[in-house]
């Protein structure tokens, strides 16, 4: 497993990407929202120290993952079936919250990659 400092969660849709960067050492959280442009996401992600990104596996993220890897950002796909959420979070689903959840899971190394 690689040593990364900043965990980045990406909630990917056909026309938009919600991103959240989490540094587990400082607890700092940064959020951004992009149109579907891998270059913009890569530029934002590379502004952090040793970033690694993760997104929920699905048809909209395969191209993004390949593009981010080509642009120098380590990116992983997470198995949707392995995502366990607390019961209190089930009714409050939104893109920003999903991106932060993925970043926190990656930071604590609780991601089953596809």
pLDDT score of 1: 43
How many other C-beta atoms lie within 10 A of the C-beta of residue 40?
A: 14
As averages over each run of 10 residues, the pLDDT of the chain (114 residues) reads: 78 92 92 94 94 85 90 85 58 79 88 73
**Would you mind telling me the total number of residues written for the chain in this entry?**
114
pLDDT score of 60: 78
Kindly list the structural domains of the chain, giving each domain's residue range(s) and its CATH number in brackets, ordered by start: 6-108 (3.30.420.110)
CA distances from residue 99 to 15, 56, 70 in whole angstroms, order as listed: 16, 9, 22
Q: Is the pTM of this model over 0.75?
A: yes
pLDDT score of 85: 60
pLDDT score of 91: 60
Closest by Cα among 40, 1, 16 to 98? 16
Q: Where does 56-94 have alpha helices with state H?
A: 62-70
pLDDT score of 48: 93
């Amino acid at each position: 497993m690689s040593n990364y400092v900043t965990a980045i969660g990406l909630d990917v849709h056909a026309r938009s990407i919600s991103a959240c960067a989490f540094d587990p050492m400082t607890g700092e959280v940064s959020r951004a929202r992009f149109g579907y442009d891998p270059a913009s996401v890569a530029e934002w992600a590379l502004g952090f120290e040793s970033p690694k990104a993760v997104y929920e596996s699905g048809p909209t993220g395969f191209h993004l993952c390949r593009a981010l890897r080509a642009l120098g950002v380590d990116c992983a796909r997470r198995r949707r079936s392995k995502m366990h959420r607390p019961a209190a979070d089930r009714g409050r689903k939104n893109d920003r919250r999903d991106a932060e959840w993925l970043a926190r899971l990656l930071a604590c190394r609780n991601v089953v990659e596809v």
